[in-house]
Structures are given as C-alpha cells and as structure tokens.
Structure 1
Amino acid sequence: MSLVQSPSVDCSIPLSQPSRLREFSSRVSDAQSATDSAESTHSASPRLQIFIRMISEGKTRVIQAYPHDTVKSLHERIQLVTGIPVNEQRLIYGGKQLQWERSLAECSIQNDAGLQLVGRMHSTKHPHAWQVIEEMVSIVCRLCRGEPVPAASNQIKSRMSEYLSTTPKKEELAAGHLQIFMSSSAPAALVMLYMSMEKGNRHRADSAIRHFLNISQISLPKRHHNYCAPIVLEFCKLIRRAGDEEDPLYLYCRSTLGMMLESTRPSMKSVRGGGAIVMKEIFPFISEMASRLCRDLGLSMETPGTAGPLSSDVRDFTAFVLSLRTMITVLVSFKGLIPVTFVEGEGYKHPVLAQELEFLYLIFIDLLKRMDECLRGMDGNLIVKQKGEGEVVYSGWSQYLAILKELHGISKIYQGAEEQFWTVLRHSKTALCALIIKYAKRADDHQWLLERKDVTDFESRRHLAMMMFPKAKKDYRELHEMLIDRSQLLAQSFEYIQRAESKSLHAGLFVEFKNEEATGPGVLREWFFLVCQAIFNPANTLFVACPNDRRRFYPNPSKLQLASNRFFY
C-alpha cells in the first residue's frame, strides 16, 4: 500500500454533511476545480461538484465532472490537480471502491457527493490486514459523513481486534504488519471522527482509540511495542494538535506511549540504525510535562489542600525521560561524564547529541531550582512544628521523592550536576528526612538515598532499611496442628515437622500438649522454648566441641543415628 501523502490531518475541517463542507469551503486548502476538455459537448448534462477527501492529509479538494464521465476520468483529473499517479489512487464511496470502467451515474454519485481518496494496494505480505483496516477506515469515513452504520462501534473494535490478533510473531514480519495501520491513515481517520460534529462520533472514536491502545498492550508481546509506539505517537500528535493538553484521551494516549517507551529499552543497534521513534519527536511531550511539574510544584506550597504534582504526570515524565536518557547513554559511548559547555548564540556543543543534551540539561536545572524552593518551604514548615505550633502537612508533598529520584538519574550524565543535586538536598536535610519517613514506599527503589549518609539521619535511614524487607503476612487460615506429649517433646516435634510440607510451616503452627486444655500463642511460645532448650541440652546435642579447639565441632557419636533419622529430613 503506498501513501498518498504524508500522514497528517487538519482536524479543524469537519466531515459531515455536504452543506457543512460548503460552509467551510474557505478553509479547504488548495481547493481547485478541473473541467473536462469536452465540456461544451456536455452542456445539456448537469455538472456535478464532487468533494474528494484526502484521508492521508486531512484535506478536501473539489472536482467538477458529469454523470456519464467514467471513474477513470475522475482519477485523471485528480492527477492533474494533485500530481498523484492514477495507478496510485483508489476512490471509496459508500464503503466500496469505485471501478474505473463505470460511470459516475452507475455508481450513484450525485452532486455534492463526498469521496475518499486512499492509496492503491500493491503486492503485500499482509493482504488480509490491509483488507481489515481499510474496512474499518471506510466505516469511520461513513460516520464522518453522517451516514447511519449499524453497530458502528462494535464493527470498528472487532476489526481492530482481528488486525492485532493476526500480528505475526516474527519481528521482521510484525514490523510490516503494524506499519499498515499508519499507511492506511487509520490514526488520522479515527482522530477525524473524534473531532467530528456528528452526534455520537466523539464517543465512538474515544472508545475505539482506547480499545486499540488497551489490546495492543495486552495482545502484543513487549518486543513488538517498539513498532506499535509510532502509532500511539501519531495519536498523541494528532489529538494534541486538534484539542488541548488537558484532553482526557490525549493524556491516556500519552501515558500509553510512555509505558511502551519504558518497556522497549533501545539498544545500540536499534538507535544507531534508526529507531522506530526519533527522540526529537518526544521533546514536546517532555517539555510539556516538565512545565506542568514546575507549575504544580509551585502550587504545592501555597495551601495544605493543594494537590501538587499528579502521580500520573510524574510517572509519564519518568518514562519519557528514561527513554531519552537511555538513548544518550547508548550513543555517547565514551567513558566519563558529559561536560556542560554552552557557547553564547550557538547553544550546546557536542559532536553527537547537542540538541538532546542541552534540552535535558535545561529541564534538569529548571526542575532542580523549583524543588530547591519547595524543600526550603518544607524546612520552614517543620521549624514551626519544632516550636510547638503544630505541623501542617501539605498533600502536594507526596510526589517530591519521585521527582528527586528522576533528577538524580539525570544528574549522573553531566559533569558537576550530581554534586549540584546533592548540595540542594544537604541544604534541606530536615525536609528530605521528613519526606522519607512519610512517603517512602516499600515498592520503590531507595538505594540512591542510602548511598549518601550526609543527607539523611538515623531515623530516615532506619525507615529506608525497613522498607527493603518484604512485608510480613499474617495468614493463619491453614495451620499445621501438632499434639505433643511432654515426655517425648523432642522426638514427637521432629516427627511432626518432618512429615509437614515447608509451605504449611510458613502459614503457622498450632500446638497442643497431650492431656492439656490450654491452646493459643502462649502454648506455642512455651513449646518453642522447650524445644530450643532440649536441642541445646548437652545430653541431646548433635554436635560437641573439640576439646583442643573450642571453635571446632564434630558430630556427637551417641546421637549420630538420631540425627540421621529425625533431624536431617
């Protein structure tokens, strides 16, 4: 399938009824008219005005024709206007491709009809995929024109599911298969539906795009996300261009793109060979998220009830920056930190990644400066507490540690940046320790903080150390029950434990002494004490000290048989 134009869409042009198209005729780019050379001979026939929608670029062109003109002649006029060869064109009307030899009247094309111009299908390894996606695009176009399509949402989703479920497992074949979604201009068509003024179309498009994002993550293996990420990037760019940064669907697409970038860490081969996504394409998203974080950090200190940075924004920022940092690490293969040298009027100087390095460093400086202000504000609040005036906890503080961790990762790239980072934390040690005790979570990686004792105190380090241990589970629904005769305490205890499975011992023990009614934790503690006492009784010990060297032990000959039968199970 060849592309008609570069895949972009001008979503400001709604596609609904022909009257609406005429209403926006002043905004239709490059609208031209072509007349037939034999127009004078057809003056008796009514002339038709036909709107040709270029799906790949989101533009509409106007062509003049007569009812008895053939579809092929229409293709030839489109070639005169656009320069696209006839054999590269396909015209879709009413969900069907128009045949060259038929007349416009035979195709039931009337005045003000809207046709879709798409690329012509060439020989391909994935003919079924092309057919499924083009059926979906055709349904979307009919909805944009305001035509009724029974169960439209289900039809679109079912074709998406069918398309993704048939993605080949081999990587080289999967790349070509997933490229079809872009080549058919499916993202542009779905975003066009999202911006449509027709009733219900926005909801249909929202549901369809979210469906694609969800099943692409579930049904595709992670190694294929590298080829699916450009599709998600296209959704992000188109929706952002047509809507705003707060659009819920845009934010969902952006989060999905971040997760895909995070799950497909670039290698030396993929980056130098031209990755699926050029890193400069994600600059606007990183810049946008950094600006949001700076804004929300400033708001987080205004009042205790201010939410501050959202966890979703911090997570997305971390995912995008991680991808950029990884690419820098891969391409800048020499050892050592990167010097930060700027030339006035010329920007950053580096033979490989000048723009990327300057971009990331400036974001680091801006966020670090804002975090410094926030930590100093926290220090002031904690001083008020020490004076006995009561502590005021700001809900906006909850994401401070996550942002600091990401800034620490960036600082390890540049000369002097890491020391600059730790200097900020040393000046606000009290605030940092308070953040650790209140917000450090067991699932997070705290190693970057444990390495620097000069910015933490004993209480915060102890809290971090405790976070490294797995959380104890108190699940005693399945207990291993033991009935022990005190006269045979050691022997019966070993027999019970020897027969038990290790998993059942993890759940809990229930001990009861023979001919005694007492049960519960007290009995369990008594049993454990008695067993330990019996084990370390010199008469029962399995190992005895060497008389010449008290640091050495050897098996007790009198208990060797007991150890073999009951202890080493």
Structure 2
Amino acid sequence: MSASLSAALARSRHQLLPSKRKLDDTAASTSTSTASSTSRACPATNPSSDACLSPPPVMPPLHFFVRTSSKTLVVHAHPSDTVNSVIARLSGPSPAADLRLIYQGRQLQGEETLASCKVQPDSLLHLTARLRSTRCPRAWQLANDICHPRDPYLLDSLVKEFLSLSPSPALDGELSDHLDVFLLSGAPVALVKFYLSHTSMPVRVVADRSIRLFTTDATLPKDFQVRCLPILLEFCRLLGSTAGRRDLLYQSCRGALATLLDLQEWRTVGPFRQPANAIPQLLPFAKEMAEIVIAGLSSEAMLISSKDLMEFSNFMRALRVQIQDWMGGVGPMPRELYSSPNACSTSNSSSSSSNNTHRQLDGWIHALYSTYKELIEKVNSCLKKLNTDLINGKSVVGESDTRLLGPSRILSVLTELNHFSGIYEDAEMTLVSVLTAHRVPLNALVRHAKRHESFCWLLKHRDILDFESRRNLALMMFPEGRDDYHELHEMLIDRSQLLAESFEYITQAEASSLHGGLFMEFKNEEATGPGVLREWFCLVCRAIFSPQNVLFLPCANDKRRFFPNPASCVDPLHLKYFVFSGRIIALALMHRVQVGVVFDRIFYSQLSGRTITLEDIKDADPLLYASCKKILEMDPDILDSDALGLTFIREVDELGSHKVIELCPGGKDLSVNSRNRDVYINLLIQDRFVNSISKQVAHFAQGFGDILINAKEQNFFFSSLDLEDFDRMIGGSEGVVDVKDWKAHTEYNGYKPKDRQIGWFWKVVEQMPPERQRMLLFFWTSVKYLPAEGFGGLGSKLYIYKSTESQNHLPSSHTCFYRLCLPAYSSLSTMRSRLSMITQDHVSCTFGTW
C-alpha cells in the first residue's frame, strides 16, 4: 500500500495527537516580492508505512524558528507537513511561489516534508524571496508590457510575440523558464481584467483574442501546448471565479485544458507531476463536468453533447491516473475512508493546522465519492425511464441523427463509472446491481451502440448481456476495415493455387496493413468487390480446414467442428500456417463473413484460457471420453486390483513410429488406482489435448491477435464469448434455409411478385434440397452461411432483376449488391433446368460478376 493511502487510512482510524500550532508573530512580517502565485500549495504526506493497514507511529509536533528579512518567527508544525504548506502560512500577502525556505545552507523542495528534510526542533530556517530569472530578459519585458500596455489594442500582438520567442520544446528547462515568466509576471490576471472590462468593448475583444491564442492556435506544436497547461489552468481559475462557468471564453479554456489532458506528456508538467498537487487541481473540473453530464441526462431526451462528454471523460481519466499513483498501484480504498465527509479527518473541534492540512489533502476522497454516487443514481434513474419507454413502445434509441445520440450516451457515462471500481471498495458491486436491474434497456443500448472500443469492459458482465449485445461489443475489438482505396490490401489470386497464394499474401503482410480494407480479385476474372471477397473467405476456409491439408481434424461427432491436428508437423510450415489461419478467421469476423466452420470446445477453451475438462473432449474423441468415464465410474476394488494394467503413460503412434509418453515423472512405474484415477484422467487429457497442440494453438492465437486493435486482448476476446456465441458469429446458421424468410427479404426490379416467372422461381427453390438452396444463395450473394438472424442479418435486401437476355442464357448475379438477373423463361421446366445448372458446385463459385 502506498504511503499516502496508508497515512489516510491511519488518520481515519486514529485521532492524531491534538496540538494547537500557532504563529507567534513578534513583529509584522514583510516581504519584498511582488510576483503573482503560479500554483496553490498542496501539502503531501510521506509517512513511513508498511504494506499493511496498521497506522504509522504518531510523531510529536515540531517547533522551530524562521528568520525573515526583518523578524524571527516561532513556528509550530507537524513533521509530515510539507515545505510548501509552511511557506503558504508564512507568505501573508506575498505569493507563496515567490518564497523559499533555506535550512543549513540548502533550499528545501516544496513537495518534501519537514521530516524528510530532517528539520530538528528549535532549529533556524531562513525565509527568502526568489530572485526573478534573468535568463529571459525579453520575456520579462514583454510580460510587463502585457500587464501595463501602452496601447491595450496591441495586447494580442504582444502575446503572439511572447509565444514566438519561446524556446524549442526540446529545450525543456529554457521553455519552462520562459513560460514561468508569463505566470510570475501576473500576465494572466492582467488579461482577464482587460477581458472583464465593461468600459471598452474593443479592449474586451482584444483580450478575448489574446487568451484564445493559448486555446486555438493550431500553429503551436502539441508538445509546446502541453507546456502551457499551467497557464491554461490559471486562465480557467480566474475566468471561472469571475466571468463564471457559462462564459464562452472560460468554456474554451476548459475545453483546451481537457484536450491536452488526453496527451501522455501532461503528467510531466509543473502542477501535475505529483498526485498530491494534481488531484486538488483536477477535482473541481471533474465535478463541474459531472454536473453538466447529470444535467444533460436529466433532460427529456437525455442529451449530452459530444464536447461535454469528451471533457468529462478526459478530466475523469486524468484524475483517475493521479489517484492511482497516489494509491501506489493498489486498491480499492476501504469504505471507511470515504463513507462520510469526516472519514479522513479528526473529529476534535480544536484540530491543529496539521489536521487542517490533512483535511485538504484527503478531502477529495469523499468529494469524489459523492460525485460518483450522484452519477450512478442519475444513470440508474435514466435506465429505469428507458425501460418504461421500451415497454410503452417508444422509440428511444435513434440512429438517424448522429449529433443527438440521446440515451446511448449513458454507455459512455457507465464506462467512466466502471473505472471507479479500482478506487472505491463498493463501487463495482453498486455498478453491477444497476446493470443487473436494468438488463432490457442496457441491452437495447449496447445493440445500437456505435463503434467504441472502450465499451468492451461490459463483456466482463456477459451474463447480463444477450447474444446480439455480446457480438456487437466483441466486434468493436476489431478495426473498422474501411474500404478506403488508399489503405486497401490488394490480392490477385489464382484459383488453382488458392491456399498457397492466399498464404503468401496474408502472412507476408504487416498486421497493420490488414486493418484496412481488402481488395480481392481472381486471375482472369472480371468480378471484384465485396461479393468476391466473401467468396474468397469461404473458399480459403474450406481449404484450411480440409483434412487433406493436415492442419485441423474434424470432430468424430460433428464434422463441422475442428481442432488442431497434433500431427500437423508433417508440414514444415505448419506453424506459419496456423498464424495464417488465425489471421483469416479474425479477418472473416472483422468483415462479417460467416464461413461455415466452427471450433471444437477443446480448441476454443484453450484460446480463451480455460482449463480443459473431461466433458470438453466428448466431441473431439468420444472413445477416449467413454473410456475415461468408465475408469471414473469403475468399482474401486476392481481398479485397485490392477486388472486394467494402467500406468501413468500415454502411447502414441505418430508418423509411423510408436512412442510412450510419461504423464508424470516415473509414470511408467505408477499404477492407476481408485485414489489417483482423477489425477490420471486430468493428466491424460492435458497431454492429449493441450500439450500435444500447444504450439499450434499459440500460433493461431498470435495470428488472430494480429488483426485485433489490441493484440494483447486476444484471450479476452474468446473468454468474453461462449462457444455457442462464436459458432453463430463465424459459422453462421447451419439449419435449413427458410424460404419464407428468403422471399420476405427479396425485392423485384422489372418483375412483380405475382408474375409467373417469380412464382416458378420460388416453387423450384422450395423443391431444392438444402445443399442446392445454399448453392443458389452462394451464386446470388456469395453468402453460403447466413447470419444467426437469417436473411434479416445480411444488412441488405436481396433483389431479382429482369434480364434482357434470351431464354437460352443462364441467370447471372452481381454478388456485391445481392442481385440476381433472371431471364423471362417461358416455362417451369426451363426455370428448373437453368437453376439446376447454376447450383452445381463448380458453377456457383465462378459465375457471379461483381
């Protein structure tokens, strides 16, 4: 546990030793500094602490002397107080940032505690003013001109010149000094004063334009803009406390601040380097945006603008990062730390200033928790209202206007709330209870959710989600695969060399190049487009999983299910082919193509990281399954008599040779009996179905992960879905084609539904065997296996166009558009003959055009 978290917990469990620290002023304190403060002093504690929750020993109060320019002061403090907190108490009217403490000839750093600085009782410290930097004379001159301009109408020109003189971001120290001048000089205060001027509107406009140079100047490089974060923070504070939160300039500064917090470098800048300093800086903005989000959700349409949602997410994320650092990477916090506003402070009414310091440090814990509670309660009420609207048949999830996403914004808010589970002890339980109580509206939102990778956390609660929701979230883990001609991966394949050439095109490609669109064309054929791509996927998968290619074996009980062949090593390239296979299956999912192939449970379980059990091998090896069941059910006396003669070995015939594999050290001499038969069965299954194909599974997983947005989430993808989910996503529907559903999703051009040719067509289709129906569908659309929803899941209607060709011509198709071109045949027999010809296997794969 981090020192900060341990100390906060200790303070919540034990009252600190009461002490009244006071400042014994023997004379008025004076200061020669005139610079403005650049940051608020925010004390941090660094108590000595174990990883356990026991409180650190209470240190006695510390008193010492501080010499100023004219007087000596007696100071009472606590060893855990920071140097910054002491300076803040001594600064009086002078900005604390302009002062420093010297002890034994050494300047004390602001974030250090008195204990870490080894300040001794009754010692003497010196309080001195910082000297302004002379490294930036021109910057000081410009800053002074901004504060006291001869001509206020030239303010924006002065600010532009100041920015143009900034050193390169590569010179970090010099750039920081340069930008510090802007703050130390009081330039932000001066510009805000000019902006608030009611006597001269033109001056107000110029000041507005000057401040916006820090928010909208696209010419400033991002790394430079990040260094301007302290300046933006100061503008936000000044404008928020004067002009108000509804002021457009304030909102612009706040938006720019939120945008910069989306960059990684922000944590290296001044006030954000230490969590104890950063948390109080970020919390007000996070609370403000939470209030705006709650107000949006409270509206009738539950609308939150994209801008407000972005700012809310960015401030919350930045705050969360700092809190996790403060917690030392452990958590969540025990409930006693945040259960009440006073949980982290003492209850003694005469608390010392040290306790006040701790209140300032730890007060955010309850404040942020209160914000979390308000958000989760608002989301709960919104989901409840949404459920009522769904029951009453109201349209609640609109897809027509992308600017007004309405209730779908709830998912984004839920995503932020989910992150609180790592901070507060009861946050996850509260969130799950809300999700569980509102399954129907939650699933409605997830089914309609647009691509948003951060929603995938919902898959951790897959039992709450239906299949369509789980599928939508899982597919968000893939790239969009846009058919952008600048990013297409082009392939020209010879049908006679389908597998070999496809292998070369896919395995030699960089994974990132496969994240865009695929352009597929067969040699000596004119057809191109999505229809040809769908055909290619089906043909390649049929080749990959063909027993002739020894990569995969079909299950004995279900020939449609496959698992890796332990003997695939007969092909020296077999592991590369497994990488290729993983990429192909992932690409098929990414492009929403069902290929009619499904995985056996032992294969899928290993991809998802689950342990293989006896029930898992039932389809892959029914004989071994039956034998193992008999051993487990056998009378103990018979098994202990060694009648079976079983030992802890497995015999394998591989590549013409016979091998004996010990399942454990000394296995050949260890007999199977009633006491160890469970262990024997588990070891046998592990060796037969895990160890023997571990390399094949690992390489397949590698190839699959190559296509995901984040390759490391390959295991999470499979563990988020049930095997049956995956079957429906990649295998498609294996049942009989529903001709009634087919007709309902077909429209006509040139024909009318009651034309005799259309009547004959459907009569012939209804009389076809299921395999011929699939051939016709494949010829028509390049879809052989329908989605789980049937024809409604294709995303487009099917079309029958009246062809101008003579009756001697066969039907043709434009598979990309699901279009069948049908000549006006004069009889039912002619219709049957022509359809029979195009549903032959060698024809249905070659006759489509585009």
1:518-529 matches, within 5 Å, as 519-520=527-528
SS in 2 for 1:320: helix
Structure 2 CA distance, aligned partners of 1:537 and 1:284? 62
For residue 327 of structure 1, report the CA deviation from its aligned partner: 2.4
1:447 maps to which of 442, 446, 456: 456
1:167–1:178 Cα contact (<8 Å) kept? no
1:400 aligns with 2:401: no
CA distance in structure 2 between the partners assigned to 1:508 and 1:383 by the alignment? 45
Q: Residue 132 of structure 1: which of 142, 150, 156 is its match?
A: 142
Note if 1:290 corresponds to 2:290: yes
TM-score, normalization: structure 2?
0.42
1:412-423 to 2 correspondence within 5 Å? 412-423=422-433
Displacement, 1:315? Answer: 2.1
Q: Report Cα offsets for 1:272-292 as digits up to 9, x if no partner.
A: 985795432444333322222
C-alpha contact 1:429 1:456 (8 A) present in aligned 2: yes
Q: 1:217 to 1:396 in 2, by over 3 A?
A: farther
Residues 1:382 and 1:127: Cα distance change in structure 2 (over 3 Å): same
Task: Say if 2:218 is the partner of 1:213.
Answer: no
Q: Choose the corresponding residue for 2:375, options 362, 367, 373.
A: 367
Q: Given the alignment of the two structures, is residue 551 of structure 1 paired with residue 560 of structure 2, yes or no?
A: no
8 Å CA contact retained: 1:265, 1:323? no
Q: Name the residue aligned to 1:259.
A: 259
Q: Does the 8 Å CA contact 1:182/1:231 hold for their aligned counterparts? A: yes
Q: Secondary structure at the match of 2:392?
A: helix
The match for 2:68 is: none
Residue 541 of structure 1 deviates from its aligned partner by 8.0
Residues 56-455 of structure 1 correspond to what in structure 2 (within 5 A)?
Answer: 122=132, 124-139=134-149, 142-143=151-152, 149=153, 152=154, 155-164=157-166, 166-167=167-168, 169-196=170-197, 197-215=199-217, 218-219=220-221, 221=223, 225=226, 227-263=227-263, 278-299=278-299, 302=300, 306=301, 308-333=303-328, 335-341=330-336, 347-349=342-344, 353-385=361-393, 390-393=394-397, 395-439=405-449, 441-455=450-464
Deviation of residue 409 (structure 1)?
A: 0.8
- Contact 1:161–1:215 (CA under 8 A) maintained in structure 2: no
Please say if residues 341 and 363 of structure 2, whose CA atoms lie closer than 8 Å, have aligned partners that are also in contact. no
Matches within 5 A, 1:524-543: none
Deviates more, 1:323-332 or 1:362-371: 323-332
1:88 paired residue number: none
Match of 2:476 in 1: 467
**For residues 261 and 535 of structure 2, what CA distance do their matches in structure 1 show?**
56
**Structure 2 residue aligned with 1:89:** none
Distance 2:335 2:159 in 1: 50
Look up the equivalent residue of 1:373 and give its one-letter code. Answer: S
Q: Secondary structure at the match of 2:567?
A: strand
Query: Does 1:508 pair with 2:519?
Result: yes
AA aligned to 1:508 is: F
Taking a change above 3 Å as real, the CA distance of residues 268 and 417 of structure 1, as seen in their structure-2 partners, is farther
C-alpha distance in 2 between matches for 1:524 and 1:278: 52
Give per-residue Cα distances to partners, 1:475-533, cap 9 Å, x unaligned. 4588969697x9xx549x969x89xx9599975244453xxx86556889999999999
What is the DSSP-based 3-state SS (H/G/I as helix, E as strand, rest coil) of the residue aligned with 1:508? strand
- The 2-side partners of 1:129 and 1:403 are apart by 44
- How do 1:31-50 and structure 2 match up within 5 A? none
The 8 Å contact of residues 133 and 159 in structure 1, kept in 2 or not, is answered as no
Aligned-partner Cα distance in 2 for 1:536–1:321: 48
Q: Is the 8 A contact 1:479 1:507 kept in 2?
A: yes
* Structure 1 counterpart of 2:297, one-letter code: L
Q: CA deviation at 1:403?
A: 0.8
Residues 13-24 of structure 1 aligned to structure 2 (within 5 Å): none
2:341 and 2:193 map into 1 onto residues whose CA distance is 40
Q: Map of 1:475-494 to 2, 5 A cutoff?
A: 475=484, 489-490=496-497
Q: 1:348 to 1:317 in 2, by over 3 A?
A: farther
In the alignment, residue 327 of structure 1 is paired with which amino acid? Q
* C-alpha distance in 2 between matches for 1:190 and 1:318: 29
User: Aligned Cα RMSD in Å?
Assistant: 4.7
Q: Is the 8 A contact 1:512 1:519 kept in 2?
A: no
2: CA distance between counterparts of 1:129 and 1:530?
69
Q: Secondary structure at the match of 2:335?
A: coil
Q: Matched residues in 1 for 2:339 and 2:541: separation?
A: 76
Deviations 1:365-387 (A, max 9, x none): 111111111110111111122xx
Shift of 1:243: 1.4
For the 8 Å contact 2:290–2:375, the answer to whether it is kept is yes
Q: Do the aligned residues in 1 keep the contact of 2:333 with 2:423 (CA within 8 Å)?
A: yes
SS in 1 for 2:333: coil
Q: Structure 1 residues 411 and 554 mapped into 2: Cα distance closer, same or farther (>3 Å)? A: closer
Structure 1 residues 344-392: Cα deviation after superposition (integer angstroms, max 9, x where no partner): 996122779530111111111111111111110111111122xxxx534
Secondary structure in structure 2 of the residue aligned to 1:451: helix
Cα 1:437–1:276 shift into 2, 3 Å: same
Query: Partners of 1:531 and 1:362 in 2: how far apart?
Result: 56
Q: What's the CA shift for 1:404? A: 0.9
Which residue does the alignment assign to 2:34?
Answer: 4
In the alignment, the residues of structure 2 paired with residue 169 and residue 325 of structure 1 have an alpha-carbon distance, to the nearest angstrom, of 28
Deviations 1:2-52 (A, max 9, x none): 8525459xxxxxxxxxxxxxxxxxxxxxxxxxxxxxxxxxxxxxxxxxxxx
Q: TM-score, normalised by structure 1?
A: 0.60
Identity of aligned residues (%): 30
